[in-house]
Amino acid sequence: MSRAAGLASRGGASRHYQVFFPLLAALIACAWVALWAWARSPYGRYLEHGDWTASGPAALLCRAIPAGDVVVPLVLYAAAWILMTAAMMLPTTLPLINAFDRLTAQRPDHGRLVALLLLGYMTAWGAFGLLAHALHSAVLSLLAGVPALAWHGWLIGVGIIALAGAFQFSRFKYQCLEKCRTPLSFIMARWRGQAEAGHAFALGVQHGLFCVGCCWALMLLMFGLGAGSLGWMLLLAAAMAVEKNVRWGRFLRRPLGVALLSWAVVLVATHV
């Protein structure tokens, strides 16, 4: 490597650690602070995915705008989900952002490309969030229409916990996890540097889909445990970050699966 190239490389690394990571850390911290403030505000119930249109400001908006009973809950849910995803999942994808940031550091549109990568990643998780919200709404409608199921609603939570535990042992989980654990290989296999904006966004979407494939069952636990519980969010975020970023993280998936399945068994035993 020439002296000029070495200086450029060291300069890029210095910029990377002095600017990029502090900005990303600030973004993640702001997401957690916003969730904390929201959970403790008079609007904290909107994090729980319950009946948002029954009372309060949301009910007024629902009556004031066309199709408000659909639009308002969807907007509130989307805002909550984006905050949750930013707080919980962005820390797990730091190696991808790090690798892509270094790869595109010399490009004049570097900042825009990184932003598009993040936007693509969040888009994949946003799509999953919409599907999860639709499923959650369908379950609530079913419980409201069948009182016998409502009396045994705890079975749904147990089922989600058992599903998350069983998924930890699946081959699909392992394959997606390995894609998440090798971000540089993932980028080099897909990044061509042509039509940069579209490719950066597509790269974020693709990695986001693998991340969803790896973590969807653990994220569904938020619906069973309470989406407004910051303690559970922190615990699940830490578990997913270790799985994806720490050298021995791949070995966590089986013990975590055993713990979740055992928890489900204990819950069934205490309710029977």
> Burial of 2 by CB count in 10 Å (0-12 exposed, 13-18 middle, 19+ buried)?
exposed
Most confident range, picked from 39-43, 130-134, 164-168, 268-272: 164-168
What is the pLDDT at residue 209?
95
| Structure token digits, residue 250 | 């791949």
What is the pLDDT at residue 4?
36
What is the pLDDT at residue 54?
54
pTM: 0.77
Query: Residue ranges of the alpha helices (H) in 90-195?
Result: 94-103, 110-145, 147-151, 154-167, 171-181, 183-190
Residues with Cβ within 8 Å of 265's Cβ and at least 6 positions away in sequence, in order, are none
Total structural domains within the chain: 1
Average pLDDT over residues 51-61: 55
**Who wins on pLDDT, 201 or 95?**
201
- Given a cut of 90, whether residue 98 has pLDDT beyond it is no
Please state, rounded to an integer, the average pLDDT across all residues of the chain.
77
Q: Which of 93, 216, 202, 240 lies closest to 164, judged by CA? A: 216
- Given a cut of 60, whether residue 1 has pLDDT beyond it is no
Q: Which of 20-29, 124-133, 158-167 bottoms out in mean pLDDT, i.e. has the lowest?
A: 20-29
Range of the domain at 221: 3-271
Is 186 within 8 Å of 98 (Cβ atoms)? no
Q: Which amino acid is at 238?
A: A
**Who wins on pLDDT, 241 or 227?**
241
Is 148 within 8 Å of 232 (Cβ atoms)? no
Q: Which of 33-47, 105-119, 183-197 bottoms out in mean pLDDT, i.e. has the lowest?
A: 33-47
What is the pLDDT at residue 91?
79
Q: What does the alpha-carbon distance between residue 75 and residue 83 come to, in Å, rounded to a whole number?
A: 12
| Residue-wise pLDDT tens digits, 60-89 | 655 566 655 666 667 777 777 787 787 788
